[in-house]
Amino acid sequence: MVRTSTDQRVELDLSGIDRRIIDTYHLDLLPTERPNRSTAELLDLRGKVALVTGGGGESLGNAICHRLAEAGATVAVLDIDGDTASSVAEDLARLWNVSASPFVANVGDWDDAHRAVEEVVARFGTVDILVNNAGGAGSVGADGQRASAGRLFADATREDLDITVAVNYVGVMYMTKAVLEVMLPQGHGRIINISSEGGKMGMVGLAAYNSCKAAIIGFTRNLATEVGPQGVSLVAVCPAIMVTDATLQQGHFGSSLDGPMGESFKRSSIGRASLPDEVASVVAFLASDAGAYVHGTAVSVGGGASDS
């Protein structure tokens, strides 16, 4: 290791190192330019195209879109609801002066997922970042039907299970498969899968939903071993309780700590719930060069819920 005479930053000097060592440990792939870039530069997403599923509405997808746009990314806002996707895209362009466009698709449909990626590429030229955020315990299916949230597995209907699995797990695989057709040929890409702290815990009333979130963690880890050497990296992000106007108005929070929401809260060692923006900030970090070496793992952003 040597220090430059100009900025005193540490650089890697491979001159004189046995070529066999360089080849064995792929030392020539190290991002040796990054130590000489500022933190602000590492977090800068200008020139990157980010596709966010479930980007409409008022919760995590919305917050992720805004954080990525604030960092300079071009954002493709994909949602099953075209009106909410359009509203978010308009806000991004107005507030952050970036290119942003809405796209409509049901991520749990193979053809729809592939069509959406093709449309994004046709509009923006590529996809550098995919955030698989679409989902939820009360996910909405292609026909507008919503799965019941917090229902005991023994009481779940076939529709509950079909919608939950299609949106929360199958959709992640379909969107990832579609975007890999872009990322692998270009030799780079970042896929961030939104899982949940529930994917690491056992909770009453969320057997189907939490199982999908656990599957996302396994999918992320396994696919990372396949495509990492080809320049595409993956990471899962695991939020816990997030508070929005909608969750408050819809009665997700009761006056006692009974039920799935209360159970999750009791496990949190930080003593409070989170805002979607707190999770979105971590996603933006992981999408940037600053978080590039976080790969093939699940990052908890749940106030210690899965660690208590």
pTM of this prediction exceeds 0.85: yes
Set 25, 169, 174, 209: catalytic member: 209
Q: Which of 92-96, 193-197, 242-246 has the lowest mean pLDDT?
A: 242-246
274 bridge partner residues = 242
* Cα–Cα dist 252/167, whole Å: 20
Taking all residues of the chain, what is their mean pLDDT, rounded to a whole number?
88
Rounded Cα distance between 149 and 163, Å, is 11
Over residues 152-199, the pLDDT tens digits come to: 888 888 988 998 899 899 999 999 999 999 999 999 999 999 999 888
Q: Which two structure tokens, joined as six digits, stand for 220?
A: 């992320």
pLDDT tens figures, 3-38: 444 455 667 888 889 999 999 999 988 898 888 889
User: Whole-angstrom Cα distance, residue 167 to residue 62?
Assistant: 17
Whether 93 contacts 153, CB under 8 Å: no
Name the percent of the chain lying above pLDDT 70.
86
**Residues whose CB is less than 8 angstroms from the CB of residue 21 and which lie 6 or more positions away in sequence, other chains included:** 27
Examine the residue annotation and report whether 293 is marked as an active-site residue of this protein.
no
Model confidence pLDDT, tens digit, residues 112-159: 999 999 999 999 999 999 999 998 865 555 555 555 556 788 888 898
Residues 6+ apart with CB under 8 A from 251: none
Answer for the pair 113, 80: CB distance below 8 angstroms, yes or no: no
Collapsed DSSP state (helix, strand, coil) of residue 219? helix
**What is Dmax (Cα atoms) for the chain?**
69
Check if the beta carbon of residue 219 is closer than 8 Å to that of residue 210.
Answer: no
Whole-number pLDDT of residue 201:
78
Domain boundaries, the chain: 1-36, 38-301
Question: Phi-psi region for residue 307, left (φ > 0), alpha (ψ -120 to 50) or beta?
Answer: alpha
What pLDDT score does 273 carry? 81
Closest CA to 113 of 166, 157, 70, 161: 166
The answer, yes or no, to whether residue 216 has pLDDT greater than 70, is yes
Give the separation between CA 52 and CA 129, rounded to whole angstroms: 8
Q: How far is CA 303 from CA 15, 259, 274, in A?
A: 45, 19, 8
- Taking CA atoms, 289 is separated from 48, 98, 230, in Å, by 11, 19, 17
Task: Supply the CATH classification number for the domain 38-301.
Answer: 3.40.50.720
What is the tens place of the pLDDT at every residue in 52-63?
A: 999 997 899 999
Q: Give the per-residue pLDDT at 246.
A: 77
